[in-house]
Amino acid sequence: MRAFVAVELSDDIRNALGEVISKMGRFDLPVKWVEPANLHLTLKFLGEVREESAPAVARAMREAARSAAPFDLRLTRAGAFPSLARPRVLFIEADDDPPVTEELARRLDDAMSQLGVPREVRPFRKHVTLGRVRRPAPLGLAADELRSLASKGFGPMKVSQIVLMRSQLTPSGPIYEAVERANLG
């Protein structure tokens, strides 16, 4: 199964980000926008995991979750990888209080590497992906609009668990299914 470990967003935040995505759709950009129901904050992308490995992956996730206390999450600023001037991925950055997501992501990376999952090569960056740019294109006024929409912030929401998600890729977009949940602390 194709899988990842994530923080699920509250319905309020998903709905608010869905409105941002809808407003950005007016700009006729070459962007594949994320369906609001699929919005999340990825802590560790696992890639393809054998079904028989799923229990070990879930145990490792639960162990990492026990090391982190519940926290508040707020989505704050618009951004893009590699930059808003040359975007490939459009996102909203996240702030956590107390700051635990980086340590949680590191613990997940360590635990999953012992199960054969490759380590992350890029530094962890707290964000929620809004869309992926299909072909290089300047955002122009859309970048200003995205910054403006994101500047009001979204949240806070209390995060008390993380989830192992299965991702099934389909022609119309991915379908995510929660496989296992783990409480923090």
CA–CA gap between residue 160 and residue 68 (Å, rounded)? 9
CA–CA gap between residue 128 and residue 93 (Å, rounded)? 6
Radius of gyration of the chain (CA): 16
Catalytic-labelled residue, pool 39, 127, 150, 154: 127
**145 part of the active site:** no
Query: CA nearest 9: which of 157, 178, 170, 121?
Result: 157
Sheet with 31-33, side-by-side order of all strands: 31-33, 127-133, 87-97, 71-82, 154-159
* Residue entry with tokens 């999953």: 112
Question: Please, which residues bridge with residue 73 across strands?
Answer: 96, 157
Catalytic-labelled residue, pool 24, 33, 40, 101: 40
Question: Please, which residues bridge with residue 159 across strands?
Answer: 71
Q: What are the tokens at 178? A: 């929660």
**80 part of the active site:** no
Active site residues: 40, 127
